[in-house]
Amino acid sequence: MPIPFNKPYKAGNELDYLKQVLDSDHMSGNYGFTKKCHEFLKKQSSAEEVFLTQSATAGLEMALMLADIGPGDEVILPSFTFSSCATAIVRQGGVPVFVDVDFDSRNVTASYLEKGITDKTKLLLPVHYAGNPCEMDDILALAKQHNLIVLEDAAQGLGSAYKGKALGSLGHLGVYSFHETKNITCGEGGALLVNASEFKDRAEILWEKGTNRRQFFRGEVDKYSWVDQGSSFLPSELTAAVLWAQLQKLEEVTLHRRKIWEHYYQRFEALEERGVLTRPKINEQGNHNGHIFSVTFNEGKVRDRVLDDFRSKEMGATFHYIPLHSSPAGKKYGRVAGDLTNVNQVSERLIRLPIWYGFEAVDQVVGTVEESI
Ligand SMILES: *Cc1c(COP(=O)(O)O)cnc(C)c1O
Residue 278 has pLDDT above 90, yes or no: yes
| Cα separation, 13 vs 5, whole angstroms | 24
Of the residues 177, 180, 292, 318, which should be mutated to test ligand 1's pocket, given the most ligand atoms within 8 Å of the CB? 177
Residue 232 has pLDDT above 90, yes or no: yes
Q: Which residues partner with 161 through β-bridges?
A: 166, 287
Is the CB of 38 within 6 Å of ligand 1? no
Of the residues 156, 167, 184, 318, which should be mutated to test ligand 1's pocket, given the most ligand atoms within 8 Å of the CB? 156
Q: Give, using CA atoms, the residue closest to atom 5 of ligand 1.
A: 56
| Cα separation, 55 vs 41, whole angstroms | 15
| Cα separation, 104 vs 238, whole angstroms | 40
Residues 14-49 have pLDDT tens digits of 999 999 999 999 999 999 999 999 999 999 999 999
Q: What is the pLDDT of residue 1?
A: 81
DSSP letters for 27-73: -SSSSHHHHHHHHHHHHHH--SEEEEES-HHHHHHHHHHHTT--TT-
Of 183, 181, 243, nearest to 4 by C-alpha is: 181
Check whether domain 14-247 has CATH 3.40.640.10, yes or no: yes
H helices, E strands: number in the chain = 15, 14
**Residue 63 pLDDT level (bands cut at 50, 70, 90):** very high
Is the CB of 177 within 6 Å of ligand 1? yes
Atom of ligand 1 nearest to the CA of 177: 7
130 Cα–ligand 1 center, Å: 11
3-state DSSP call for residue 318?
A: strand
The CATH homologous superfamily to which domain 250-372 belongs is: Aspartate Aminotransferase, domain 1 (3.90.1150.10)
| Cα separation, 351 vs 339, whole angstroms | 23
| Cα separation, 89 vs 199, whole angstroms | 18
Q: Angle 32-45/237-247 helices, nearest 10 degrees?
A: 40
**Residue 222 pLDDT level (bands cut at 50, 70, 90):** confident
Residues 158-187 have pLDDT tens digits of 999 999 999 999 999 999 999 999 999 999
Residue 217 has pLDDT above 90, yes or no: no
Is the CB of 82 within 6 Å of ligand 1? yes
Q: Give, using CA atoms, the residue closest to atom 8 of ligand 1.
A: 179
Any idea of the CA torsion for 233, 80, 41, 264, to the nearest 10 degrees? 140
| Cα separation, 291 vs 49, whole angstroms | 25
Residue 221 has pLDDT above 90, yes or no: no
Domain residue ranges of the chain, discontinuous segments joined by +: 14-247, 250-372
Any idea of the CA torsion for 28, 33, 36, 41, to the nearest 10 degrees? -70
Q: What is the pTM of this model?
A: 0.97
Task: Provide CB contacts within 8 A for 99, sequence distance 6+.
Answer: 76, 77, 78, 79, 108, 112, 113, 115, 116, 336, 337, 338, 340
Average pLDDT of the residues in 139-150: 98
63 Cα–ligand 1 center, Å: 14
User: Same fold for the domain at 14-247 and the one at 250-372?
Assistant: no
Residues 87-118 have pLDDT tens digits of 999 999 999 999 999 999 999 999 999 999 99
Residues 192-216 have pLDDT tens digits of 999 999 999 999 999 999 999 888 8
H helices present in the chain, as ranges: 14-23, 32-45, 56-66, 83-91, 110-114, 136-146, 200-207, 213-217, 237-247, 250-267, 269-273, 300-312, 328-333, 341-349, 362-372
| Cα separation, 62 vs 72, whole angstroms | 18
Q: What is the pLDDT of residue 215?
A: 86
Is the CB of 55 within 6 Å of ligand 1? yes
| Separation of CA 335 from chain center | 22
Percent of the chain with pLDDT over 90: 96
3-state DSSP call for residue 182?
A: coil
| Cα separation, 261 vs 85, whole angstroms | 26
Q: What is the pLDDT of residue 216?
A: 85
Task: Provide CB contacts within 8 A for 366, sequence distance 6+.
Answer: 264, 267, 268
Of 171, 157, 204, 163, nearest to 41 by C-alpha is: 157
Is the CB of 128 within 6 Å of ligand 1? no
Is the CB of 185 within 6 Å of ligand 1? no
**Residue 223 pLDDT level (bands cut at 50, 70, 90):** confident
Is the CB of 155 within 6 Å of ligand 1? yes
For residue 242, the 8-state DSSP code is H
Cα 294 to Cα 173, 236, 302, 349: the distances in Å are 27, 34, 14, 10
78, burial (CB in 10 Å: exposed 0-12, middle 13-18, buried 19+): buried
Task: Provide CB contacts within 8 A for 280, sequence distance 6+.
Answer: 104, 105, 106, 130, 132, 293, 294, 295
| Cα separation, 96 vs 249, whole angstroms | 36
